[in-house]
Structure 1
Amino acid sequence: PAINVGISVSRVGSAAQTKAMKQVAGSLKLFLAQYREVAAFAQFGSDLDASTQFLLNRGARLTELLKQPQYSPLSVEQQVVVVFAGVNGFLDRIPTARIVEFESKLLPYMSANHADVLESIAVTGQLTAEVEKKLRTGISDFIKTFL
């Protein structure tokens, strides 16, 4: 999803996104904007309250999650799964240094064990309540094996 709303591609980008991507990425832009703002001020202070620390931790994980190797594009359904995991707090227990590893193992796991979820997102372009429930279950099951 387009993240920097100040760039014209980002402003136009949402019109080209599937409904599923809009559903999962909606809060991502706002959260990352808050993270960047707080991160700039946090470097000057050492006493951070719990909510600020939470914002910094999740923001760092989401930033790592959005990185991908050159020439390795993800399909829309894979992007939806990864962003869904990030914005719904599934990465909060994963060390930031292991986020790339998490992503690289989550997607094959979902393809092997929950292909119906990926297929539904690819075909309908939507994230129904049923698909979201299966997605939550699949990611939770994977985290148990990952940690």
Structure 2
Amino acid sequence: SELDPATQKTLARGERMVATLNQPQYKPWPHAEQVVALYAGINGFLDEIPTPQISRFHDELREHLRTEGAIYTEIDETKDLSDELSAKLEAELKKFTQGFDIREETGLIA
């Protein structure tokens, strides 16, 4: 039977969240990286990323955030996602997502 668009969207987001939660065996991501990955999924930043590319998206996002700003450090130090830190994270996720090209093997538009 046909599912309504809202249900389809919810199922697609759930599929992306499952892909987000898959991490290499015996190599879990650090706490701050898990927080960012879940935040991205919950807040719709993965909605336009094809599920097979979720892993590459997260790999490149984690690398991007390691070199841009101190979001990971702030999350680790405060153990909290304040409104100010959420705004910074939101801005970085928007910037990164706009540059992530699902057509490119490397991901980021040169």
Common fold, TM-score beyond 0.5? yes
The alignment status of 1:71 with 2:21, answered yes or no, reads no
CA deviations over 1:68-93 (Å, ceiling 9, x no partner): 11122111111101000000000001
TM-score w.r.t. structure 2 length?
Answer: 0.88
Q: Hey, what does 1:14 align to over in structure 2?
A: none
Of Structure 1 and Structure 2, the greater helix share is in 1
Q: Across the two proteins, how many residue pairs are aligned to each other? A: 101
Q: How many Å apart are 1:120 and its aligned residue?
A: 0.8
- Tell me the residue number matched to 2:4: 49
What is the CA distance between 1:130 and its match in structure 2? Answer: 0.6
Instruction: State the AA in 1 paired with 2:40.
Output: A
TM-score under structure 1 normalisation? 0.67
- State the superposition RMSD in angstroms: 0.8
Could you list the runs of 4 or more consecutive aligned residues of structure 1 that deviate by over 4 angstroms after TM superposition?
Answer: none
Q: What CA distance in whole angstroms lies between the structure 2 residues aligned with 1:103 and 1:112?
A: 14
Distance 1:54 1:138 in 2: 24
Query: Which structure has the larger Rg?
Result: 1
CA distance in structure 1 between the aligned counterparts of 2:18 and 2:10, rounded to whole angstroms: 12
Gaps of at least 5 residues in structure 1 are: 1-44
